[in-house]
Structure 1
Amino acid sequence: MLEVAAAVETAIPSTIDLRKKAVQFTLQKKQLTNVVARVGIVLDITGSMQPLYRNGTVQEVVERILAVATQFDDNKTLDVWVYDTEFSRLPSVTERELGRYVETHIMNNSHIHKFGRNNEPPVMEDVIRKYTEEESESDTPVFIVFINDGGVVKPIKKVITSSSVLPIFWQFVGIGQSDFEVLKKLDTMEGRVVDNANFFHLDAIERVSDEELYDKLLNEFPLWLKEAKNKRIIR
């Protein structure tokens, strides 16, 4: 009887497996199945985000974006940053390390500055540094998911503009009830070689289905890929 129960249990797909299938469906729909890209996530860890770290929402967000990374990245790896007034580049995550990633590497990590105010440019500069100075394949596309629950500082515009010549696409996701005044103007930002950033807002990311989330996440990335190839920013 125990053997039967164990067999049934192993036959039940895990949430990450179900999410990978949802990503695959979205990639097929958007004709992205042959794309190879590095994937990273930047997590707001300012004071107002504290409940989402404690109730498991951020852990779930990491899993949902890891599912994207498994389909784009040859190493099936998601790179991770957190930031408030300071930032930390954390160990990359794979399915093997996913389990209690947020609790282990963020909440129980005394070296991380947590729950202060926000300052986006330093962490963005570190993202740029990693993929353009430290990585050997510096022309591989990079898809960055940037989670933010409040207004960003205005100097973020300069970083986005200057990085428009680089193989990095910034997908900002606003969560909560802030007005996101700066991020709403990304599509009309002038002075860029290509449109390298997009923004959408979700009141409660934990209530959005995987299918809807992946559709929104990957809505403008294909357009950027085409433009960036035409400008020879990516191969």
Structure 2
Amino acid sequence: MSPLSLEKVQQSAPPLVSLYKEAGVSLRKHGLQGQRATVYLVMDRSGSMRPYYKDGTMQHLAEQVLAVSAHLDDDGVVPLVFFSTDVDGVHEIGLDNHAGRIAALHEQLGHMGRTHYEAGMDAVLDHYLASDAAVPALVIFQTDGGPTSRRAAEKWLCKAAELPLFWQFIGFGDPDDRDFEFLHRLDELPVPSRRIVDNAGFFAAGTDPRSLCDADLYDRLLGEFPAWLAAAGHRGILPL
């Protein structure tokens, strides 16, 4: 398993070249060059998310994540999980089919429901286990608010701490919104009394996530991943 080269990205997805380069800078900055991982993207489809799909924000996030995956994975494909009240759909986005992909899929998925984190998290777990992956997973989990069931989300995250998946939550919306208090708490759940290892991070991307420059986004996406890799290795979740 080797990363995709700049030449491959130039051939398959020229519009993503600058994102690929920026992602590479951040990976090196955080000591992640040479690291291999499967990258997942989980997207919130609760009703309040409609404007972010309409204005292209969700498409832009998918392209940013795809550029990171090109460094960490070898197939140029990111599994996509759309969730609301349940799992709305499990799809993929790749270097060769990224243009307009999110809006097209979103329009096919119908009703936008409530915010059940555990539905999206469970879909990722099922996909990861079925894939027989030999590398850890970096799961980028986007939402614009707290879950309908905080108890279910917290319970699921604690149970999942024994698995080789790191959950990087991203909040779209007002950073001071009280809905995000739960995500801050989820990020800070104590170790080892609640979970075997710290398996999650969170940052708020603001009401206009596209205004966050790519370098800052990548630094926030990747900032806690190295510490988890080390802790997961120490606890036997990953081979040292």
Q: Tell me if TM exceeds 0.5.
A: yes
Work out the CA distance in 2 between the residues paired with 1:206 and 1:21: 18
Name the structure 1 match of 2:5: none
Q: Quote the offset at 1:135 in angstroms.
A: 1.6
Name the structure 2 match of 1:209: 213
Determine which of 153, 168, 172 is the counterpart of 2:169.
Answer: 172
Higher mean C-alpha displacement, 32-41 vs 81-90: 81-90
Alignment of structure 1 residues 133-152 onto 2, 5 Å: 134-137=130-133, 139-152=134-147
Structure 2 contact 81–123 (Cα < 8 Å) conserved? no
1:151-178 per-position Cα deviation (integer Å, ceiling 9, x unaligned): 1231100010000000000000011023
Q: Quote the offset at 1:100 in angstroms.
A: 1.5
Work out the CA distance in 1 between the residues paired with 2:229 and 2:34: 12
Q: Which amino acid aligns with 1:192?
A: R
Work out the CA distance in 2 between the residues paired with 1:91 and 1:202: 24
Sequence identity of aligned pairs in percent? 31
Q: Quote the offset at 1:102 in angstroms.
A: 1.3
Work out the CA distance in 1 between the residues paired with 2:172 and 2:188: 21
Q: Quote the offset at 1:216 in angstroms.
A: 0.5
Work out the CA distance in 2 between the residues paired with 1:116 and 1:122: 12
Structure 1 contact 84–113 (Cα < 8 Å) conserved? no
Q: Which amino acid aligns with 2:205?
A: L
State the aligned residue count.
220
Secondary structure of 2:96's match? helix
Q: Quote the offset at 1:187 in angstroms.
A: 3.5
CA shift in 2, pair 1:52/1:130, >3 Å: same
2:219 is equivalent to residue 193 of structure 1: no
1:69-100 per-position Cα deviation (integer Å, ceiling 9, x unaligned): 11111212111011110213432111101011
Work out the CA distance in 2 between the residues paired with 1:122 and 1:58: 19
Name the structure 2 match of 1:225: 229
Q: Which amino acid aligns with 2:54?
A: R
Alignment of structure 1 residues 1-235 onto 2, 5 Å: 14-107=14-107, 109=108, 112-132=109-129, 134-137=130-133, 139-152=134-147, 153-154=149-150, 155-177=152-174, 178-179=177-178, 180-190=180-190, 191-203=194-206, 204-235=208-239
Q: Which amino acid aligns with 1:228?
A: A
Work out the CA distance in 1 between the residues paired with 2:234 and 2:198: 13
CA shift in 2, pair 1:205/1:57, >3 Å: same
Structure 1 contact 90–105 (Cα < 8 Å) conserved? no
Work out the CA distance in 2 between the residues paired with 1:146 and 1:221: 14
Structure 2 contact 30–226 (Cα < 8 Å) conserved? yes
Structure 1 contact 86–113 (Cα < 8 Å) conserved? no
Secondary structure of 2:142's match? strand
**After TM superposition, where is structure 1 displaced by more than 4 Å over at least 4 residues in a row?**
none
Work out the CA distance in 2 between the residues paired with 1:196 and 1:160: 8
Work out the CA distance in 1 between the residues paired with 2:40 and 2:119: 16
Q: Which amino acid aligns with 2:43?
A: L
Work out the CA distance in 2 between the residues paired with 1:99 and 1:21: 19
Q: TM-score, normalised by structure 1?
A: 0.89
Could you list the runs of 5+ residues in structure 1 that have no partner in the other structure? 1-9
Work out the CA distance in 2 between the residues paired with 1:218 and 1:197: 11
Work out the CA distance in 2 between the residues paired with 1:161 and 1:210: 31
Q: Quote the offset at 1:113 in angstroms.
A: 4.3
Work out the CA distance in 1 between the residues paired with 2:188 and 2:203: 14
Work out the CA distance in 2 between the residues paired with 1:226 and 1:51: 38
Name the structure 1 match of 2:7: none
